[in-house]
Chains A and B, each alone.
Chain A
Amino acid sequence: MEEKVVEIRGLEKSFGDLDVLKGVDLDLYKGENLVVLGKSGSGKSVLIKIMVGLLKQDSGSMSVLGKEVSMLKTRELNELRLRIGFSFQNSALYDSMTVRENLEFPLVRNIKNLTKKEITMKIEGLLESVGLPQSINQMPSELSGGQKKRIGVARTLILEPEIMLYDEPTAGLDPITCGDINNLIIQVREEYNTSSIVITHDLTCAKDTGDRVAVLLDGQFDAVGTFEEVFPHAEDKRIKSFYDYNFINS
């Protein structure tokens, strides 16, 4: 796990008077699942949105798969985006399309010369691997929260990305479905050989899925390491309260 696929140095981002990221440094290694933990509004999602060019940093550098994201032209950025899968917090499935059309959408636009049979096989294979083969003709409104997350992950996997970004994958789900989603994140890494960043404030998710965890507090990473290194004997009060709330109070 030595090859770096993401390298972040001195990243800063503000919205108006609010400084969200204050000189963030972070590395993601090939084949690794890195969990970024932090309170709501701490800038976790902002970090991965900068990674795919949805937001631009004020200063600092963000290198993804050897490319400095902020320096890329639209075409180069789109080429990079094809190598990154982004699973959104609310799944962001296209309301007006069926599950099949949702999965077809990125595929037919980015990979030419695929036959209808190949497209169908790919979609059915992916739905099988996320455990929802029966949903192929359903509309997103007919799916539960957990099913939507799975379909969202399947849609990002259809382009076979090298890096997966999960934005709050377990938010708003019951504990059993959370467990299923955590298993899916691990399964995706094993089956598709991806490196992942999982954004969450759910410590169970962090413990189950992360090779390393990084805690984002006050715009900077306070602790980076394995779950056991960072928790449960953290000396920093804020990290300790984070752990206590998740594992003792609940």
Chain B
Amino acid sequence: MTEKAEDRKPLLSKKIDKFFTGLADAWNFVRRFFKEVFVPPYEFKEVIHQCYRIGVESLPLIALTGFIVGIVFTNQSRPSLANFGATSWLPSLISIAVVRAMGPLVTALIAAGKVGSSIGAEIGSMKVTEQIDAMEVSATNPFKFLVVTRVLATTFMIPVLVMFTDFVALMGSFLSVSANENVSIITFFVEVFGAISFLDIISSVLKALLFGFTIGIVGCYKGYNSSKGTEGVGRAANAAVVMAMFLIFIEELLVLQIVNAIRAF
């Protein structure tokens, strides 16, 4: 008989070993995703179904949040700019803030809460009720059907949701601006687009792709590895949200450094 992992003595301490084992597990999970995503059969129908669930069903929440963010950010920024008599800069300021940072970040955080937890709980509950095993014994690859489809759907839909959030937030901002200053919608959007560059839009889309991938893969990983019955499902859903949010902030910081370096170059 081969030596079992549980029988081995910990190399450093149980906690540290567990941390590195978890890291290796997560890395293998990501590697498996990239291995499976290019190999047929492709589950197009399920990807479309998940895109609908993740994209369309998140629209009302994202729209409301984006709209409120636009209004609040404009109202909060106005007094500071008014001190310098620079309220005419509001559209540019809001545009830069929304497109570069707030749009992707707010969308990703909302999606991590709504979509990430739902993926974690759904796959987790399938795991503990043996539905994943049932898929496997009917000669269907559950990883491909459940994980690959959901990660692709989040990766594709978060950028779409980010663009939608950007638009709605700018509309909210316009509403606030037009209520206080005499600005037409055309002037507002001329100012908005004048302030952002191609790099801003590209970096925003790339960031959204990265956030989408993170939300999907973390949700699936936590769900797929859940155990201990219904308690485990709750934990998986919770861990999916916490871990995704944490990683999103780290990624935001890293992408910002890279984009700033490109801008300086």
Contacts and interface: CB of A to CB of B under 8 A. Distances in A.
Contacts of A110: 138-140
Interface in A61-99: 78-79, 81-82, 84, 86, 88-90, 92-96
A153 B134 CA distance: 12
B4 interface: yes
A86 B134 contact: yes
B4 A14 contact: yes
A106 interface: yes
Interface string A81-125: 110101011101111100000000110011000000000000000
A226 interface: no
Contacts of A109: 138-140
B133 A16 contact: no
A92 B136 contact: no
Dominant SS at the B interface? helix
Given A81-B138, A110-B138, A110-B139, A88 B133 contact: yes
B140 A105 contact: yes
Contacts of B139: 78-79, 81-82, 106, 109-110
Interface in A156-196: 156, 159
A157 B133 CA distance: 17
B131 interface: yes
Contact of A54 (B1, B6, B7, B133): B133
Contact of B131 (A14, A78, A95, A159): A95
A86 B136 CA distance: 10
Interface string B1-24: 110101100000000000000000
B129 interface: yes
Nearest to A87: B134
A89 B131 CA distance: 11
A54 B137 contact: yes
30 contacts: A14-B4, A16-B4, A16-B6, A16-B7, A49-B133, A52-B137, A54-B137, A58-B2, A81-B137, A81-B139, A82-B139, A84-B137, A86-B137, A88-B133, A88-B134, A90-B130, A92-B129, A92-B133, A92-B134, A93-B134, A94-B126, A94-B131, A94-B134, A95-B125, A96-B122, A105-B140, A106-B139, A110-B138, A110-B139, A156-B138
